[in-house]
Structure 1
Amino acid sequence: MQSPWQSLTLPAQFELTAEGITGPFNPDTASCLYTPLLHQQMLKVTGTDAMTFLQGQLSCDLRDVIREGSRLGAHCNIKGHMISLFRVIAQDEQCFWLRTHQGLAEKALAQLKKYIIFSKATASLDTQRCGIGFQGPGAAEVIRQFTGLSAEQIPETSSATCISGHWILCCISPGRYELWGEADELKPHLALLQSDSAHPMPLQQWLLGDIQAGIPDLRPETSEAFIPQMTNLQVFEGVSFRKGCYTGQEIVTRLQHRGQLKRPMYRVRVRCDERPLAGMSLHCDDKENVGQVVLAADTAETGVFELLAVILKERAEKDRVWLANHCPVEHLELPYTLDPRLFESKR
């Protein structure tokens, strides 16, 4: 567990574990909810060649990252399958942070280091930086008090980012933020989170927000399982089709312009005894392994879970799809639409 959080006093119904806060969901009407992002970790790439190096490795366009502040971006293998999925954050052309799931951080770093040896850049784990997720209509004001940032510095649009002093603040979607700071800087400010203006939420409630926004992520069980478009990454401009070559680019671009996407990502709901795990298979009555769970999270209703899952399109939209023990999934809407041309045969 990251040491700053040991000084955080939580209400009796909540508990801080190595995975994050556990406890009951807070109402969505709460002004500001927060949770430590213990499931995530930062990598750091620095040096005069940092931008050039990452431009040749990641699926997103680093010029967009510089302009907007952050972007989702994948590091693929030569077959176009995502090894790692990052939120790529730019301080400048010589300093980038790559936020990823902590279970993939070591693998992600090793993959970057395979290619970085010919660049004037270095990649490392940033073990001192800790994250907090904030959401709600009052989140921006609490963040302002927490960091000392001005109201004008708080980003309001998705991917917009502010880096000021020791703080990295990313707007994930309107009203939802990730705040990252070094542990020594973070600890003195934690008392603010114990005031009436901010309320703890379980990590599962934060992850549910990601699922409802249709934001993909990878876990060790799904590393190298998906091509970027299978997780709808292009919706978030996490895939660039204009920037030129990067590892796996030929496969990714071929699917976009010559191929046909047969397995997109859906948002679904399921009732079952236990939360589904990333990487679990989905089935139909007459065909097994028609899909795979990307992410799953609890909801406020016991025994009901929401999922992001990559599913064979012809099965997802026509047949009954179920998880283990024949628990059927129910389709829910995503907050975006996919380009129908992705599903057209181009032959």
Structure 2
Amino acid sequence: MIRVQGEDAASFLHGQLSQDFALQKPDEARLAAFLNAKGRMQASFIGIKRSSDEILLICSRDLLAQTLKRLSMFVLRSKARLSDATADFAMRGLAGRAAPSGVAPWSVATRGDASVVQLYPADGQPRALWVAPAATPAPEGEALSESLWQLGEVRSGVATLTLPIYEAFVPQMVNYESIGGVNFKKGCYPGQEVVARSQFRGTLKRRTYLAHVDAQILAVGTEVFNAHDAEQPVGTVVQAAASPDGGVDALVSLQIAAADEALHAGSTGGPLLQLKPLPYALLADI
């Protein structure tokens, strides 16, 4: 978790990330991407506005150190301080009856000192992220295993960028424009021209799909092939989690043209991918 503090915290992030932080309210979270100049994702965040001059950025642990270092390079004269706040806050996942229901994704509710961020549902069950100062007692409820939480992350269709897929995708390749991760009306940020061109000039050729694979393990970054071409992959595994019914569920970024073909993980002889419906509509399909 990265903490951004100072009177310019919101304006600084607004100029660096793919979402609008200048107009963020305390009851709103932001899904956002940090991009290089070519529009490729270097990190993804859930941003929570704890106060007028403090914003928390939740990201994958394996990208935190390098992302903190790189973001800090751009502070320059902005009145903003960036730090690793992982030890200062506790974070819990809420699912089912423990999570608020009937609430729009990226809404934020306050429970005492805790911020409760509504996430996208999985398997029709509400999900939320509980974030509070480290000394805050954990929320009540039956414990959920980490493996089941990770499965819900996959089945929600909302990808979190991790080190194996660093700079592999523009945001639309993981459906971020359809789930609140890109604001096309805000001002400039690194990679914006590439993102806008992909959206409005019809150059986007990849989307992320939900899939099931009959395999024991499926690593993030595994390439996906169609049955007719062993040389050129048509996709990449973005996120994966074991299914309690056997096999692995995964988010896979695929060439749109290949989505109706027979697809295999790792090689043309690898396990077959079974594509499943996403739990949300893609922006181009609305």
75 and 203 in structure 1: CA distance in 2 versus 1, 3 angstrom threshold: same
Contact 2:207 2:255 in 1 (8 A): yes
TM-score normalized by the length of structure 2: 0.90
- Answer yes or no: is the 8 Å Cα contact 1:64–1:71 preserved in 2: no
1:100 matches 2:59:
yes
AA aligned to 1:156 is V
Larger CA deviation: 72-81 vs 331-340: 331-340
User: Does the aligned pair in 2 maintain the 1:155–1:171 contact within 8 Å?
Assistant: no
Q: Which residue in 1 is equivalent to 2:89?
A: 129
Does 1:179 pair with 2:139? no
What are structure 1's unaligned runs of at least 5 residues? 1-41, 141-153, 193-197, 343-347
C-alpha distance in structure 1 between counterparts of 2:262 and 2:52, whole Å: 49
Tell me the CA shift for residue 92 of structure 1: 3.4
**Cα deviation digits, residues 240-267 of structure 1 (max 9, x gap):** 1101101111111111112321111000
**2:204 match:** 261
- The C-alpha deviation readout for 1:89-120, integer Å capped at 9, x for no partner, is 11234211000111111111112101012211
Are positions 1:85 and 2:44 aligned together? yes
Q: Which amino acid aligns with 1:323?
A: A
SS at match of 2:24: helix
Alignment of 1:162-311 (within 5 A): 162-163=109-110, 165-173=112-120, 175-186=126-137, 189=138, 192=140, 198-272=141-215, 274-287=216-229, 288-302=232-246, 304-311=247-254
* Cα 1:263–1:216 shift into 2, 3 Å: same
Aligned-partner Cα distance in 1 for 2:114–2:55? 14
CA contact (8 A) 2:237 2:251 kept: yes
**Are 2:8 and 1:49 equivalent residues in the alignment?**
yes
1:270-306 alpha-carbon deviations (Å, 9 max, x no partner): 001x32111111111222311001110111113x111
- Contact 1:130/1:181 (CA < 8 Å) preserved in 2? yes
Q: In proportion to residue count, which structure has more helix?
A: 1
Answer yes or no: is the 8 Å Cα contact 1:85–1:100 preserved in 2: yes
2:110 & 2:81 partners in 1: Cα distance? 21
Instruction: State the SS of the aligned residue for 2:272.
Output: strand
2 CA distance for matches of 1:205 and 1:64?
34
Larger C-alpha radius of gyration, 1 or 2?
A: 1
Any stretches of 5+ residues in structure 2 without a counterpart? Answer: none
> Using a 3 Å threshold, how does the CA distance of structure 1 residues 260 and 327 change in structure 2: closer, same or farther?
same
2:69 is paired with a residue whose SS is helix
Distance in 2 between residues matched to 1:322 and 1:118, nearest whole Å: 50
The CA distance in 2 between the partners of 1:162 and 1:46, in whole Å, is 21
Q: Does residue 161 in structure 1 map to residue 112 in structure 2?
A: no
TM-score for both structures, normalised by structure 1: 0.75
Shift of 1:312: 0.9
Q: Confirm or deny: 8 A CA contact 1:155 1:162 kept in the other structure.
A: no
| Other structure's SS at 1:177 match | strand
Q: Offset of 1:67 from its aligned partner?
A: 6.2
C-alpha deviation, 1:63, in angstroms: 4.2
